[in-house]
Chain A
Amino acid sequence: MTELMIDAVRITKKFGKMTALDGVDLSVPKGTVMGLLGHNGAGKTTLVNILSTLTTATSGTARVAGYDVLTHGHDVRGRIGLTGQFASVDEQITGLDNLVLIARLLGASPKQARRRAEELLTVFDLTAAGGRKAQTYSGGMRRRLDLAASLVGHPDVIFLDEPTTGLDPSSRNSLWEIVERLVREGTTVLLTTQYLEEADRLADRITVLASGRIVAAGTADQLKGDIGTRTIMLTLAHPGDVTVAMDALKRAGLHPSHDVTRRKISSPAVASTDLILAVRALDRAGVMVTELGISEPSLDDVYLALNHDPKTDADNANAVTQIIKAISAA
């Protein structure tokens, strides 16, 4: 059996009356990526905090890198890297000094610390900015520095709490590449995210958390198979073709629907051959399309498919939107 680098059993965490985690089990084999998927307030950060010894669980046990988080916190901390949900770098000192600081605290000599810091600045494309105060960094640069800081000690296990939230697509991509490289080199990763796409790309296995409980677990393909709501999306060149196109697709055995502009048609792709069927049918009917593709199910689809009510989460999102509106109106 492969070695488990994270092994959590029936973790429960209560904040007063509020139950943030309710009997969560999680096991992550060495050298793999576990994607922890969930909406705002699902309990992702709480679980990461428990596993990285920042918080103690109300009940349940967890071992990380072979050590109990409760009784051997120090040993755990020597083997993990944590990139929290919110960047945690010292803004008052330079990027280089941030990394040197961590290396020194981990026990590196001044010389080793400097070498390691420079090495990481290079990997994260921060060499030019290394001598500047972190205060002057952009959000993406800060995120990268933050991630670099959690890799200083060559951790066996790394926790990434929503690492790409707020990053632009290219920063997101380069971060994904770094994570993939880490895993190739043997690191075990626990990654939390709100994006199914991200979990799909990086994670070997996915655990879906909703209101503190695990509602689904498996590989990305298993989850998608369970959900089965990939969707064919196409845009017509001429809106006048909509009736012809709809009829052609229906005759091919699909269940299309169109939007109000009568330009975009979508249809659930149940079987893997559905896309080809659609293309043939449209071609035969002489319909021109400007766009054609398959969209992956979103986290919402996962929740829906699992019969979980994302309403409370949506309420949260609404509340935030309201607040932002109120602030910007003021």
Chain B
Amino acid sequence: MSSSLAPATQGATWRGSSLYTQIMVLTGRSLRSVLLDPKNLLFTLLTPLMMLLLFSQVFSNVANTPGFPKGVSYINFLMPATLVTTALSAAMTAGVGFVNDLRNGVLARFRALPINGGSILAARSLADLVRSAVQLIIMIVAAVAVFGFTPKGFGVAGALLLALIVGWGLGWLFLAVATWMRNPETLQMFTFLAMFPLMFGSSAYMPLDGLPGWMQFVATVNPLTYAIDASRELTLQGTISSTAFTSIGISLVIAAGGMVFAAKGFRRQ
């Protein structure tokens, strides 16, 4: 009988792995569960396409509202914003995986292993980043091929990168919230409530001038507005301005705050 159960003698055991390995292995595990779940995979890939289809059909008349940039088709107006809002929806699910792990005991298993709690959180964030990147790339390709999206040069690559950074930053916020709320239902409620002002109280679907007064105010303090405006500049004009750096700055601040609170929430028992 191979003595496969017993405690290993003299140093033959594994007592821990590097932070890098931990993050990579855990990220791989999260992504694998998406890949292995056809429903999840389909949902991940179809959501952005549905969004595009829906908004381009429903809101195409917005192109006739006052203040709408002249000579811009609605899809070209919509697409840069949809990149950002799709990244936001991915960010909002960052906490879901964490809470599920907590629920089904996987987190307890991890916490009894000689690994760093930070790598569990970092892996979640990284897996969502990868997922989000795949979603956005599919979306850009589909928008160009099917919906007549005509980005100006390679600015769209910059917009993609910007959307990923913003989504990554906000993802930490939602992850932090998850480590404190720890309950799928309350988390979902929070996410739902947070989504509306973030998405619609922004310049995503209408030019600011087309929004009612109080919504204009919400939109001007909404970090997404900066990201969306910068994304439009990048895709429509192929230029980058301070708006882009402002939104990156805001995202980094949100990410840093999120990390601190997530780490705190994680250690809480």
A interface residue numbers (CB < 8 A to B): 52-56, 74-75, 77-80, 82, 84, 86-94, 97, 101-108, 112, 116, 119-120, 123, 133, 149-151, 153-156, 178, 181-182, 185-187
Interface of B toward A, CB cutoff 8 Å: 2-8, 12-17, 21-22, 25-26, 29, 32-33, 36-37, 101, 104-106, 108-115, 269
Give Cα A94 to B35, complex, Å.
12
Given contacts A75-B15, A87-B105, A106-B14, 12 further A-B contacts (CB under 8 A): A74-B114, A80-B112, A82-B108, A93-B29, A93-B32, A105-B110, A105-B113, A106-B113, A108-B14, A154-B13, A185-B6, A187-B7
Q: Are A185 and B106 in contact (CB under 8 A)?
A: no
Whether B5 and A86, one on each chain, are in contact in the complex, defined by CB atoms closer than 8 angstroms, is no
Partner of B36, one of A86, A105, A133, A178: A133
Of the candidates B3, B5, B17, B105, the one whose C-beta lies within 8 Å of that of A88 is B105
Hey, which chain A residues are within 8 Å of B13, CB to CB? 78, 106, 153-154
Among B21, B25, B110, max chain A CB count under 10 A is at: B25
B106 touches A154 (CB 8 A): no
A52 touches B113 (CB 8 A): no
| A106/B4 in contact, CB under 8 A | no
Smallest beta-carbon distance A214→chain B, Å: 24
A-B contact list, 29 entries, CB within 8 Å: A54-B111, A54-B269, A55-B269, A74-B114, A75-B15, A77-B113, A79-B15, A82-B109, A86-B105, A91-B104, A92-B33, A92-B36, A93-B32, A93-B33, A97-B32, A101-B29, A105-B25, A105-B113, A106-B15, A106-B16, A108-B14, A119-B2, A123-B5, A153-B13, A154-B8, A178-B5, A181-B5, A185-B3, A187-B7
Listed residue (B5, B25, B32, B36) with the most chain A CB atoms within 10 angstroms of its CB:
B5
Residues in A whose Cβ lies below 8 Å from that of B111:
53-54
Instruction: Please name all residues of chain A whose beta carbon is closer than 8 Å to the beta carbon of B21 when the two chains form the complex.
Output: 104-105, 107
Contacts of B105 in A (CB 8 A): 84, 86-89
Report if A182-B6 is in contact (Cβ < 8 Å); known contacts: A93-B33, A103-B14.
yes
> Shortest beta-carbon distance, A150 to chain B, in Å?
8
Nearest A-chain residue to B6, judged by Cβ? A185
B12 touches A154 (CB 8 A): yes
* Of listed B32, B104, B110, B114, residue having the most chain A CB within 10 A: B114
Question: Whole-angstrom distance between the alpha carbons of A107 and B14 in the complex?
Answer: 5
